[in-house]
Amino acid sequence: ELFPQEFSSGNVSLKLKRLQVADAGTYQCLVRNSEWTQEATTELQVAAVAPVLIDVLGPRGQGIGLICRTAGWFPKPELQWVGKNGQNLGMEIVTDMTQERENLYSVVSHVTVTEGEDNGDISCIVRNGLLV
């Protein structure tokens, strides 16, 4: 969407509605009249984040199963399970990442927390590299 009523004050802004991953790229604006020409270029990066949900799956072997789910990320996110003090969990973690509709990513990750380990609080952290 352009704002023609603003042109006279020098505002040639472009408003993109319903932004999608496919809208990322280089945008160029060229303004000219009979006396001069002005050009500007900008790079648009698109990032998307979504809520992260953690559920308890229940008993799994000698421990308790946890699942972390999220959908609607771009670009491909990073997922990390951490315990106390933000340290990586030293357990087997299974993570499945898929790219779905509109190129957005979904992530499902499972971990089994075993008894006797000093786990305390456990968190599933998902990060978007563009927003760090």
- Full set of structural domains in the chain with CATH: 4-44 (no CATH), 53-131 (2.60.40.10)
8 A C-beta contact, residue 73 and residue 50: yes
* Cis status of the peptide bond prior to 4, with omega within 30 of 0: no
pLDDT confidence of residue 66: 94
Helix/strand/coil for 69: strand
8 A C-beta contact, residue 121 and residue 70: no
pLDDT confidence of residue 78: 96
Instruction: Calculate mean pLDDT across residues 5-15.
Output: 88
> What tokens appear for 47 in the block?
């990032």
Q: Write the CB contacts of 87 (distance below 8 Å, at least 6 apart in sequence).
A: none
* Cis status of the peptide bond prior to 77, with omega within 30 of 0: no
pTM score of the predicted model: 0.79
Q: What are the pLDDT digits (tens) for 46-75? A: 999 999 999 999 988 888 999 999 999 999
